[in-house]
């Protein structure tokens, strides 16, 4: 083929690639989109705002007295774990959102645009971090109103928040994988309930492991949810403990190492 010309009204000199800065700006735009979606879908806001508050109220006032002897004492024990549990549920939105985009063709539209290939995924994950931060803040505020008190200091508290955000980032990869593999967004939700409920309940989030039968304790003690809840309780209440923090980070690294490549592989197969 010889000289090919385009009678394009746009600039004839087209840039050959996206600069990292443009990619970042596109990521922010896509994160903005995910946040704006919440405004038109108040149910989602309810899911990551009202639902966790219900959990705090229910567990504190219905079970708290029986489990810990007093509701105040129970709130102090359970709140860090409930925040961890809620964080895991909120990561499922990465998967449902991604799945919606894939099934509705929005993802094809995004891929047909001259934007960074990684921007759509990065935008989702960035939006997820904003939702996470909001949920953590909300649960802490509600907890404070009900009588929860930070036993350490602001730096430790921020450490706990950061640790949870890092864990959420790692756990998002599992959500991405489910989002890519699932037939429709409802299946992603279903996965969230059938897998996350047992994993979060068979942990030390609601009751200490010592109260459970020995065979169950061995699972509860290695469950990453328990480890992370322990780390956060330490950072919020009694002082940072190195072991659970290091174990949480190790879990986050392991989850990323397994699910990030799997997600990318599944993703390349689907699109």
Chain positions contacting other proteins, by CB under 8 A: 1-10, 14-18, 22, 25-26, 29-30, 32-33, 36-37, 40-41, 104-106, 108-115, 119, 271
Whichever of 3 and 242 has its CB closer to other proteins, that residue is 3
CB of 84 to other proteins, least distance (A): 28
Tell me if 131 sits within 8 A of 175, measured CB to CB: no
CB of 128 to other proteins, least distance (A): 16
SS3 category, 271: coil
Whichever of 88 and 181 has its CB closer to other proteins, that residue is 181
Whichever of 30 and 163 has its CB closer to other proteins, that residue is 30
Whichever of 32 and 134 has its CB closer to other proteins, that residue is 32
Q: Give the Cα separation of 106 and 100 in Å (integer).
A: 8
CB of 169 to other proteins, least distance (A): 23
* Segment holding 263, helix H or strand E: helix 242-270
The dihedral region occupied by 105, where left means phi > 0, alpha psi between -120 and 50, and beta the remainder, is left
Using the CB atoms, write b or e for 181-207: b if 16+ within 10 Å: bbeebebbbebbeeebeebbebbbbbb
CB of 109 to other proteins, least distance (A): 4
**Phi, psi for residue 41 in degrees, rounded to 5:** -135, 75
Tell me if 205 sits within 8 A of 78, measured CB to CB: yes
CB of 107 to other proteins, least distance (A): 8
CB of 93 to other proteins, least distance (A): 12
Whichever of 70 and 103 has its CB closer to other proteins, that residue is 103
In the chain, % helix, strand, coil (3-state, to 5) comes to 80, 0, 20
Whichever of 1 and 154 has its CB closer to other proteins, that residue is 1
- Report in angstroms the alpha-carbon separations of 123 from 86, 162, 172, 196, 266: 21, 19, 12, 24, 19
């Amino acid at each position: 083929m010889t000289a090919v010309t385009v009678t394009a009204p746009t600039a004839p000199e087209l840039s050959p690639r996206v600069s990292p800065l443009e990619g970042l700006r596109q990521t922010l735009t896509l994160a903005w989109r995910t946040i704006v979606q919440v405004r038109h879908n108040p149910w989602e806001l309810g899911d990551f705002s009202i639902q966790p508050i219900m959990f705090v109220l229910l567990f504190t006032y219905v079970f708290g007295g029986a489990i810990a002897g007093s509701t105040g004492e129970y709130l102090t024990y359970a709140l860090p774990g409930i925040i961890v549990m809620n964080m895991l549920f909120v990561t499922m939105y990465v998967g449902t959102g991604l799945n919606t985009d894939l099934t509705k063709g929005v993802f094809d539209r995004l891929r047909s645009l001259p934007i960074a290939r990684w921007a759509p995924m990065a935008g989702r994950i960035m939006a997820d971090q904003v939702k996470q931060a909001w949920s953590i803040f909300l649960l802490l505020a509600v907890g404070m109103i009900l009588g929860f008190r930070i036993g350490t200091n602001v730096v430790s508290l921020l450490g706990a928040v950061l640790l949870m955000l890092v864990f959420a980032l790692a756990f998002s990869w599992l959500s991405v994988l489910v989002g890519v593999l699932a037939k429709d967004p409802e299946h992603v939700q279903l996965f969230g309930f059938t897998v996350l409920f047992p994993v979060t309940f068979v942990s030390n989030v609601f009751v200490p492991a010592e109260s459970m039968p020995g065979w169950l304790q061995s699972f509860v003690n290695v469950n990453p949810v328990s480890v992370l809840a322990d780390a956060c309780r330490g950072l919020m209440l009694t002082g940072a403990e190195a072991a659970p923090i290091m174990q949480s980070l190790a879990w986050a690294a392991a989850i990323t190492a397994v699910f990030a490549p799997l997600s990318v592989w599944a993703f390349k197969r689907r699109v």
